[in-house]
Structure 1
């Protein structure tokens, strides 16, 4: 067994043992971190690895949350099947978005993805007979063997293994031909094309993968919160997800976890000063950009390298 997979197995074992030492509410928070991290992971893949700008992640998470919920309400399709179906649908939308934006880049690409988020949110608010409109939708509870999952403990053992699987999938993609193609796109689309990379296909694939992960995260987060509010799937939420990966590290899959943990835990730490949440996140974002351009994950990598060099005596 390679050292890499030994690390993955060790991390998974630690995560599975954690609930036995933590309160139920903390498990609920960990579940929210996991579902948020799945959505953020999609942005790491499309922005950090493939070099494409996207402000559509909230739209993709809305597709995952609403489609799986509507499938459960109207067709009786359980979330175990509804969320994968919704994620595949979001992936198709993401692939089409990539096709439509082939010749776009920079702020033009940002505007197009922002427009998609705005369109999806308008549909959620005004298609009231289907989506519930501005009042939102109640999400049917997830059940296993006829028993509804209502505690943070039970949701943890659903969401965290799913998140672990998504991150393992992303890690394997990065080490594959697809990951190398994404990296080439990030460096230069023109240079990538001269090297034989199908820019049209891989750019669309990056958006499809981001959309798929966004829908999975959105679907499970809807189950955790048990209610869908269309106001939580807008442009501001897409920008917040981008801020999460910038703070955590937009070129590292670990950065998605770090940024998501900060996003979920900081509001609780503020206590009575909830009104300053936006200011705190803005300050964190500014400090990260100025002092730690590679994010907190990059800072961790630097510290680990220095500690390793001190232990082994080898300069790095």
Structure 2
């Protein structure tokens, strides 16, 4: 049995065993890790692959969560249908936004995407008729085939498979023609343009993919939390996603999972230092930037696992 097949068999077995041996709280944590990983995957594409600094991921997550919830409460569209619909619309918004903002680079791009996050948050706060304003809004339960999924144990069977699917897609995207084009752009936009690549369109497409993943994550995390508060989706949340990507590994889809696990689980082990969590995370981020800029996913044994888990369907050259 090959290493890849063995790892996949173990992963599938653990997926079905976990709900029978873990408590509800731990299953909730697994769902939270998976949903956060999905949002951070967007940064792996736009920042890790394409080299564009984005602080708009928080805005995309907010639009996905609020959009799917509004469709469900106001128009009766179930979440399982509303999430992909909203994600496509948010992806189109991300593509247009990319065309507008990606003509700038570096810290100017970071500031532009930060402004997008601030604008979306303000729109949520002042859109009382749809979003509930500053008080937020309740999220309708996730219903599929007439069954309501209202707990972490039930949502586990939705959030984890969807996240695994998109990790697999992103992993293969990195070695596809599109992924190689993004890598060329990250290394040198001038050289990529000289080779005939439409740099602006590729960067905007990466932005659209990031927006799509963020919106799907927001739509899945919304029923998990059962309530949406616009204060959750501000600038701090945008930096939080970026920190997860840095700690886990900006260039690796598996790094998104590793970083999310660190940031979700670490507070549970630092109960005595809850008042200093911000400082702990800041020092953690600084340490990784200085000592291991490629994140935890660059550890040799984790890199081997990432390579072994890569999708069996290889993209055409």
**Normalising to structure 1: TM-score of the pair?**
0.92
> Which deviates further from its counterpart, 7-16 or 83-92?
7-16
Aligned partner of 1:214 in structure 2 is: 214
**Cα–Cα, structure 1 residues 266 and 293, in superposed 2: closer, same or farther, change >3 Å?**
same
Unaligned runs of 5+ in 1: 306-316
> Which deviates further from its counterpart, 138-147 or 239-248?
138-147
CA RMSD of aligned residues (A): 1.9
Aligned partner of 1:107 in structure 2 is: 107
**1:303 positional shift:** 8.2
1:259-295: CA deviations, max 9, x gaps?
1011111122222432111111111111211221111
Aligned partner of 2:150 in structure 1 is: 150
1:24-71: CA deviations, max 9, x gaps?
210010000000000001001110111011000000001100000000
* Distance in 2 of aligned mates of 1:201 and 1:304: 33
**1:2 positional shift:** 8.5
Unaligned runs of 5+ in 2: 306-317
Aligned partner of 1:124 in structure 2 is: 124
What secondary structure sits across from 2:55 in the alignment? Answer: coil
1:77-108: CA deviations, max 9, x gaps?
00111100111111011101111123210011
Aligned partner of 2:310 in structure 1 is: none
Aligned partner of 1:288 in structure 2 is: 288
**Cα–Cα, structure 1 residues 245 and 37, in superposed 2: closer, same or farther, change >3 Å?**
same
**1:225 positional shift:** 0.2
Structure 1 residue runs of 4+, over 6 Å off?
none
* Distance in 2 of aligned mates of 1:102 and 1:304: 34
Aligned partner of 2:175 in structure 1 is: 175
Q: Does the 8 Å CA contact 1:292/1:299 hold for their aligned counterparts?
A: no
* Distance in 2 of aligned mates of 1:92 and 1:105: 21
**1:152 positional shift:** 1.7
Aligned partner of 2:312 in structure 1 is: none
Q: Does the 8 Å CA contact 2:247/2:295 hold for their aligned counterparts?
A: yes
* Distance in 1 of aligned mates of 2:302 and 2:161: 28
Aligned partner of 2:63 in structure 1 is: 63
**Cα–Cα, structure 1 residues 155 and 203, in superposed 2: closer, same or farther, change >3 Å?**
same
Aligned partner of 1:137 in structure 2 is: 137
**1:169 positional shift:** 1.1
What secondary structure sits across from 1:196 in the alignment? Answer: coil
* Distance in 2 of aligned mates of 1:153 and 1:29: 10
Aligned partner of 1:226 in structure 2 is: 226
What secondary structure sits across from 1:148 in the alignment? Answer: strand
* Distance in 2 of aligned mates of 1:25 and 1:296: 26
**Cα–Cα, structure 1 residues 196 and 4, in superposed 2: closer, same or farther, change >3 Å?**
farther
Matched, 1:77 2:73: no
Q: Does the 8 Å CA contact 1:189/1:199 hold for their aligned counterparts?
A: yes
**Cα–Cα, structure 1 residues 6 and 117, in superposed 2: closer, same or farther, change >3 Å?**
same
